[in-house]
């Protein structure tokens, strides 16, 4: 870090007092398999240290994915933390990463790009970026179902979707909701947790090879146990 304005004295102080930096360096040195942090402080603060240390190993965080366990099954929400205002390229990457992680749970992903706009009925706003992301996805060769942009209720209600968007290519209810704003994704996640009796598993920090996960200060002991189970999955089986 000497070329990033960090003097030896500052480095020593950080490595004596900053548990996130200590844990990230332990993972980098092979002294630990994974790091869980975030029970206090701001997500971006922890992400900065994780990214600076583990980025040297070729990892790059591209999104945070939360699994909400509800009465009728799991629902995945992204990106709740990492990209506050993601570009179309980032949205496409988030969708691909989310689909990959959902399969780790033995679930076939059905990804909906969610917005106030619906199949182009609003020219500007988040729908514009989601439509661009859809074009990026269409240009690739992907083995999961995705569709958008659409409202949340349209994504979750197949009958409503068939009536409003008869040319859509998704069957059944979406189980992955990808948003163009972290505010929207985080808000949906928190509403489901507080008012929908949803049990959150995560956030899962995508792109880090399962070497680091950053939770929120509101996480419970059970939530930490769930993230610990994810972190304990062998790296070879996680992305």
pLDDT at 237 over 80: no
Give the pTM: 0.88
pLDDT at 236 over 50: no
Q: 3-state class of 133 per DSSP?
A: helix
- Taking only the tens place, the pLDDT of each residue in 31-65 is 999 999 999 989 989 999 899 899 888 899 999 99
Q: Are 206 and 65 in contact (CB under 8 A)?
A: yes
Task: Give the separation between CA 52 and CA 50, rounded to whole angstroms.
Answer: 6
Mean pLDDT confidence for 127-146: 94
With the CA atoms of 184, 217, 60 and 51 taken in that order, what torsion angle do they form, in degrees rounded to the nearest 10? 130
pLDDT at 1 over 90: no
Task: State the pLDDT at residue 91.
Answer: 97
Mean pLDDT for the chain overall? 91
- Taking only the tens place, the pLDDT of each residue in 214-233 is 999 988 898 899 999 988 87
Task: State the pLDDT at residue 202.
Answer: 85
Task: State the pLDDT at residue 234.
Answer: 58
End-to-end CA distance of the chain: 27
Measured CA to CA in angstroms, residue 28 lies from 58, 82, 220, 237 at distances of: 11, 21, 27, 19
Owner of token pair 């990214």: 51
- Taking only the tens place, the pLDDT of each residue in 59-90 is 999 999 999 999 989 999 999 999 999 999 99
Task: Give the separation between CA 82 and CA 64, rounded to whole angstroms.
Answer: 6
Domain 62-205, what fold? Rossmann fold (3.40.50)
**Nearest to residue 66, comparing CAs of 180, 182, 236?**
182
Q: Where are the domains of the chain?
A: 1-60+207-239, 62-205
- Taking only the tens place, the pLDDT of each residue in 88-126 is 999 999 999 999 999 989 999 999 999 999 898 887 788
Task: State the pLDDT at residue 11.
Answer: 86
* 14: confidence class by pLDDT, cuts 50, 70, 90: confident
Owner of token pair 């790059």: 60
């Amino acid at each position: 870090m000497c070329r990033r304005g960090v003097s030896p004295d500052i480095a020593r102080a950080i490595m004596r007092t900053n548990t996130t930096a200590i844990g990230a360096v332990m993972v980098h040195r092979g002294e630990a398999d994974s790091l869980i942090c975030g029970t206090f402080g701001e997500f971006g603060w922890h992400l900065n240290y994780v990214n600076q240390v583990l980025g040297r190993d070729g990892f790059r965080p591209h999104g945070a994915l939360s699994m909400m366990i509800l009465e009728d099954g799991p629902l995945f929400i992204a990106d709740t933390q990492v990209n506050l205002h993601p570009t179309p390229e980032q949205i496409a990457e988030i969708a691909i990463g989310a689909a990959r992680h959902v399969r780790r749970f033995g679930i076939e992903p059905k990804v909906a790009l969610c917005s106030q706009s619906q199949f182009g009925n609003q020219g500007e706003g988040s729908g514009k970026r989601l439509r661009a992301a859809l074009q990026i996805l269409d240009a690739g060769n992907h083995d999961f179902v995705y569709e958008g942009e659409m409202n949340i209720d349209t994504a979750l209600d197949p009958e409503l979707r068939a009536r409003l968007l008869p040319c859509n290519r998704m069957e059944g209810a979406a189980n992955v909701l990808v948003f163009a704003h972290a505010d929207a994704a985080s808000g949906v996640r928190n509403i489901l947790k507080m008012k929908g009796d949803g049990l959150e598993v995560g956030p899962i920090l995508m792109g880090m090879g399962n070497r680091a996960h950053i939770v929120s200060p509101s996480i419970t002991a059970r939530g930490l146990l769930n993230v610990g189970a994810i972190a304990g999955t062998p790296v070879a089986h996680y992305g």
